[in-house]
Copies of this chain bind each other. A is one copy, B any other.
Amino acid sequence: MDEPDRTLPDGYEDQLGHGALTFADRPLLTGTADLDRWQPDVAIVGAPLDINTTNKPGARFGPRALRAEADHPGAYHLDLRIEVFDHLEVVDYGDAMCPHGQSEVGLANIRQRVLEVASRGIVPVVIGGDHSITWPSVEAVAEAHGWGSIGVVHFDAHADTADRIDGNAASHGTPMRRLIESGAVLGRNFVQVGLRGYWPPAHVFDWMQEQGMRWHLMQEVWERGAPAVMADAVAEAMEGCDALYLSVDIDVLDPGFAPGTGTPEPGGMAPADLLRAVRKLALETNLVGMDIVEVSPPYDHAQQTVNNAHRVVMEFLAGLAVRRRDG
C-alpha cells in the first residue's frame, strides 16, 4: 500500500474550527479518492435524516450541530493520558445525502456512504439523524466485515425492535428488528443497555428473547451500578463475535442532561457513566463502527445534548487511539 498523502491546502489548517466547521476540527474529505489518498483510521459520516421519528423531530440537524456548535475541549484525554489525534487519524467525510420526505433514498445513501468508508477498512462514525439510520449503517459495516459476524452494543432508553410502528418498517423504533431479520447481526450478538419507561410492549420483548438478544434495563443499572452492568455487557457482546458496532441513542441519558432529543424518557443514565461505558468498550473490545443518534438541536439548550454526543464520540476515538498506540 502506498504511503498516505495528508497534505492540506495552504491556510486550511488554520481555518479548522473557524472558516472550516468540521467534526472535532478534523479535515474534511469529500470523495473516495481522498479517502484512498489520506488513508484515515476513522471517518465521520453525517446522516441528517429524521423523518422516521415518532415524536419530536429535529435530529436532521444533529450533524450540523455536532460540527458547528459543540464546545470543543482539546484532545488530550485526561483519564487515558493520550493526545487522541496523535495516535488516530480521523477525518470528516461529510454527509450522506438525505433528501427531504424520502426515507428510502436517504437510507440507501447512508448505506452507500458508510460502505465507502468501511469497505476501505476505515472505521465509520455515523452522526444521526434519528435511529432509523442505524439500519443502513450497521448493514454497511456488516457487509464490509462479514454478514452476521459483528455484534452490536446498543445504548438506548428504547429497544427499537418493533416490527412496524404506524405501518412504518423503517421507523426509528424498528431498526434493530430489521438488522436481526436480515441476518446482518445475530440476535445473540445484540446487547442493549439503558432500556426503561413504557415501551415497547411485552410481545416485542418476547420476540427479542426468542432471538437470543440480551438487554440490561435501567432498573438493573440503578440497582447494580453502571460498572457492574457494563462488565456483563462487554462479556456478553464479545461472546461469539470478534468485532462490534456501537450504537448510542443519546436518549439513554436522562433528559436532565440531554433535553435535545425526540423521545425523552426520565430516569436515564448520567453522562459520567455513559462516557466511561463507551470508554470501556473502546478499550476492551474491537469496535469497527459506531453511531450517535437522536440529537435534536431545536430542543437542546446551551449545547447540553450536543456536547454529550460529541464527548461520546471522543471517548470512542480515545479508546481506539489507545489500542492503536499500544498495538
Contacts and interface: CB of A to CB of B under 8 A. Distances in A.
Contact of A255 (B34, B219, B307): B307
Given A255-B257, A299-B302, A97 B30 contact: no
A327 interface: no
A266 interface: yes
Interface stretch (A5-13, A140-148, A181-189, A237-245): A5-13
Q: Which range contains the number of A residues in contact with the other chain?
A: 35 or more
A19 B12 contact: no
A142 to B, nearest CB: 23
Total copies of this chain within the assembly = 6
B58 A298 contact: yes
Contacts of A121: none
A213 B252 CA distance: 37
Interface string A50-82: 111111111011011001110101111111010
Interface in A187-207: 195-202
B10 A31 contact: yes
A131 to B, nearest CB: 12
Which of A54, A63, A255 gathers the greatest number of chain B CB atoms within 10 Å?
A: A255
Contact of A53 (B14, B31, B100): B100
A235 interface: no
Interface in A90-126: 92-95, 97, 99-103, 105
B60 A18 contact: no
B301 A302 contact: yes
A107 to B, nearest CB: 11
